[in-house]
A and B are shown apart, each in its own frame.
Chain A
Amino acid sequence: MTLLETNENQSNVQDNRRKSGYLNPKSKFADVVMFFGVIYFMIPLVWIVVASTKTKNDLFQTFSLGFGHSNSFFTNIAATFRQDNGAFGHWLFNTLFYAVTAAFLSTVTATMAGYSLAHFKYRGSRLVESLILGMVMVPGTALVMPLYLLFAKIHLVNTIWSVILPSVLNPFGAFLMRVYITNSVPEEMLQAARIDRASEFKIFFRIVLPILKPALLTVFLFSLVASWNNYFLPLVMLSSEKLYPLAVGLNTWFGQASQYTADQTLYNCVIDGALIAIVPLIISFIFLQKYWRGGLTAGAVK
């Protein structure tokens, strides 16, 4: 009886450990430290939400982390969209369009490349594979100036393609895909399909792609964020305001606002515009947490 009880206790202890991730899982000290961490990471985000509701005067005169005397959130948002004949709407659409197109193309090319490297052996495949790691280490911004000069020659500068095409390059995505496919698509499955005389493209679309769904979303999200957040590339490539993405457009407004003669309601437009620029990504982070972490795991393992 006692023996049984001890056994039961032990297994309980082990169960607890398994559930809680091993030992002092409820450390108060850690919680307090993390609480301060949360505050630190939240300060700018709290600030921008608060500031987006303030009138111009409150923005300058009231305490920056507290609300103002009145709520002018919707007035500010409307002003942001009206400013410069609706420039903000263009910028928002451009950002979305550039990011989605580039992310889509880069996910497609990276996935195909990853599949090719994971399951086919041919002359040059080894070379490509070792080059990919080197490619990851070429700093992207160093390519921007030469690309600008090249694009100027073929009249691509100041077009949507000058921003989209360079963002399609995604060696890290190909690397992630190669790792993921090797681990999750067994060779035998492909062999079986080949014996059934399925065509190679059918195998790719019907068998491989469905398995890759989570990884596809992950690579897509990462390239989406990369081009959504890119500043240097569009800054160099684009000269007409109509083609600007949010990052470049908002900074133009900020520049105008900081001049002494400027109309200072522009500050409100910059702040509310910045808020609109980050909301979609933050929402996607909260709802797609699993996929964000999934991709990082694959990258971290190898």
Chain B
Amino acid sequence: MKLKTKQSVVGWTFIIPFLIVVLCMLFIPLAYAYYLSSHQNTLVGGNKFVWFSNYKTVFTDPLFLEGLKRVALFGLIQIPLMLGIALIAALVLDTVNSKMAKVFRLIAFLPYAVPAVVGALMWGFLDSNTFGPFGKILLHLGFKSVDLFAPSAFIYTIGNIVTWAWTGYNMIVIYSALRGLPRDAYESALIDGASQVQIARYIKIPAIKNALILTFIFCVIGTMQIYTEPSILSRYTQAVSLGYTPNIYAYSLAFSQSQFNYSAAVSFALALVVFIASYGFFAYNRRRESQS
């Protein structure tokens, strides 16, 4: 009994600093965001508690929905594409061990070290027809030069930057998971004459399912929050509207329109959507796993 009490005291002592940070930097802001968004300043009634009516406004606000739809659609295409490339690259790195593979493993990971602002700046220069090489190369080859900042093309420009920045990171996560697998599992498969593709398909990929789910969830969380790239590059293009992404909308609500409460409501709504999507996906996979 005494030992148990001591265990609790020591255990709590070690976790208290972390919990204080969580309380102050996570729970209180979330509660405050909810509090703000559930109150409405009216001329007649003063500060009034309105439950969820602000959320009804948020989720029917065409500007919020426009941004949400855009990032969702963007993620639907970009995430599988990027993770597909990352997975194939990781599988190749796990089998091939040439010098080139080592160089590739390092270089592909480097963009992760580049701040998103700098990444956006660099690609902004490269993609612009004033500074960049692509327009000139296309002209030289006899094509019409393309404006990568035209409203219709801009989303692809963003897609390229995000893919450049995150493919290597995800590749390394997946590669690390592959390296952690026991090697003898596919030794016997090899001896039985299985091809590398079959081994990847039937042994390796199922074995690293958890790592794949994790990378997928992190990609979803990151994509829904996208702000930096379109915001930095908005100088080059007409494409970035007020509600281009939910975070751009939240920022401009607060700092160009001084609608702080509504901005907090938009933030909270975004957090809710992201949380439900990622946690739901996670729980779904866990349940499926425990059933099978």
Task: Tell whether B44 is near chain A: CB-to-CB under 8 Å.
Answer: no
Task: Tell whether B77 is near chain A: CB-to-CB under 8 Å.
Answer: no
Interface residues of B in 87-123 (CB under 8 A from A): 89, 92, 94-98, 100-101, 103-104, 106-119, 121-123
Q: Nearest chain A CB to B45's CB is how many angstroms away?
A: 22
Q: With A43-B126, A143-B26 in contact, is A35–B33 under 8 Å at CB? A: no
Given A25, A65, A139, A174, which contacts B95 in the complex, CB threshold below 8 Å?
A25
Stretch at the interface among A68-76, A77-85, A227-235: A227-235
Given A22, A231, A289, A299, which contacts B214 in the complex, CB threshold below 8 Å?
A299
B279 to A, closest residue via Cβ: A137
| Cβ–Cβ contact B18 & A146, under 8 A | no
A270 to B, closest residue via Cβ: B121
Q: With A142-B271, A255-B235 in contact, is A113–B133 under 8 Å at CB? A: no
Within 8 Å CB of B108, what residues of A? Answer: 37-38, 41
Given B8, B26, B111, B176, which contacts A120 in the complex, CB threshold below 8 Å?
B8
- A137 to B271 alpha-carbon distance, docked (Å): 9
Given B111, B118, B173, which contacts A41 in the complex, CB threshold below 8 Å?
B111
Within 8 Å CB of B179, what residues of A? Answer: 297
Within 8 Å CB of A204, what residues of B? Answer: 14
- A44 to B119 alpha-carbon distance, docked (Å): 8
Within 8 Å CB of A286, what residues of B? Answer: 106
- A270 to B125 alpha-carbon distance, docked (Å): 11
Given A44, A125, A299, which contacts B126 in the complex, CB threshold below 8 Å?
A44
Task: Tell whether A7 is near chain B: CB-to-CB under 8 Å.
Answer: no
- A106 to B117 alpha-carbon distance, docked (Å): 23
- A237 to B224 alpha-carbon distance, docked (Å): 21
Q: With A143-B26, A146-B264, A289-B106 in contact, is A25–B271 under 8 Å at CB? A: no
- A165 to B254 alpha-carbon distance, docked (Å): 21
| Cβ–Cβ contact B123 & A44, under 8 A | yes
Total interface residues in chain A, CB < 8 Å: 106
| Cβ–Cβ contact B164 & A109, under 8 A | no
| Cβ–Cβ contact B18 & A112, under 8 A | yes
Within 8 Å CB of A35, what residues of B? Answer: 100, 104
| Cβ–Cβ contact A31 & B136, under 8 A | no
- A145 to B257 alpha-carbon distance, docked (Å): 14
Task: Tell whether A200 is near chain B: CB-to-CB under 8 Å.
Answer: yes
Within 8 Å CB of A65, what residues of B? Answer: 133
Q: With A34-B100, A64-B132, A285-B109 in contact, is A146–B11 under 8 Å at CB? A: no
- A27 to B196 alpha-carbon distance, docked (Å): 12
Within 8 Å CB of A108, what residues of B? Answer: 17
- A24 to B91 alpha-carbon distance, docked (Å): 13
Chain B window 130-154, contacts with chain A (Cβ cutoff 8 Å), 1 for yes, 0 for no: 1111001000000000000000000
- A96 to B255 alpha-carbon distance, docked (Å): 27
Given A174, A274, A285, A302, which contacts B18 in the complex, CB threshold below 8 Å?
A174
Given B115, B173, B254, B274, which contacts A277 in the complex, CB threshold below 8 Å?
B115
Chain B window 185-200, contacts with chain A (Cβ cutoff 8 Å), 1 for yes, 0 for no: 0110010000010000
Q: Nearest chain B CB to A190's CB is how many angstroms away?
A: 11
| Cβ–Cβ contact B279 & A134, under 8 A | yes
| Cβ–Cβ contact B121 & A121, under 8 A | no
Stretch at the interface among B46-54, B62-70, B225-233: B225-233
Q: With A60-B131, A139-B224, A144-B267 in contact, is A44–B164 under 8 Å at CB? A: yes
Q: Nearest chain A CB to B111's CB is how many angstroms away?
A: 6
Within 8 Å CB of B172, what residues of A? Answer: 292-293, 296
Q: Nearest chain A CB to B17's CB is how many angstroms away?
A: 5
| Cβ–Cβ contact B29 & A143, under 8 A | yes
Chain A window 258-302, contacts with chain B (Cβ cutoff 8 Å), 1 for yes, 0 for no: 100000000000110010011001101110010011001101111
Within 8 Å CB of B76, what residues of A? Answer: none
Task: Tell whether B12 is near chain A: CB-to-CB under 8 Å.
Answer: yes
Q: With A25-B97, A166-B25, A278-B113 in contact, is A117–B180 under 8 Å at CB? A: no
| Cβ–Cβ contact B115 & A231, under 8 A | yes
Q: Nearest chain A CB to B70's CB is how many angstroms away?
A: 16
Given B7, B30, B254, B282, which contacts A137 in the complex, CB threshold below 8 Å?
B282
Please, could you name 27 A-B residue pairs with CB atoms under 8 Å apart, sorted by A?
A: A17-B187, A21-B95, A22-B190, A25-B96, A41-B111, A47-B126, A59-B131, A64-B133, A112-B15, A116-B15, A120-B11, A122-B11, A125-B11, A137-B217, A139-B270, A144-B267, A145-B251, A148-B254, A165-B25, A200-B13, A246-B117, A278-B113, A284-B113, A286-B106, A297-B176, A297-B179, A300-B176
Chain A interface (Cβ within 8 Å of chain B)?
17-18, 20-27, 30-31, 33-35, 37-38, 40-45, 47-48, 51, 59-60, 63-65, 106, 108-110, 112-113, 115-117, 119-123, 125, 128, 133-135, 137-150, 165-166, 168-169, 171, 174, 200, 204, 225, 228-229, 231-232, 235-236, 246-248, 250-251, 254-255, 258, 270-271, 274, 277-278, 281-282, 284-286, 289, 292-293, 296-297, 299-302
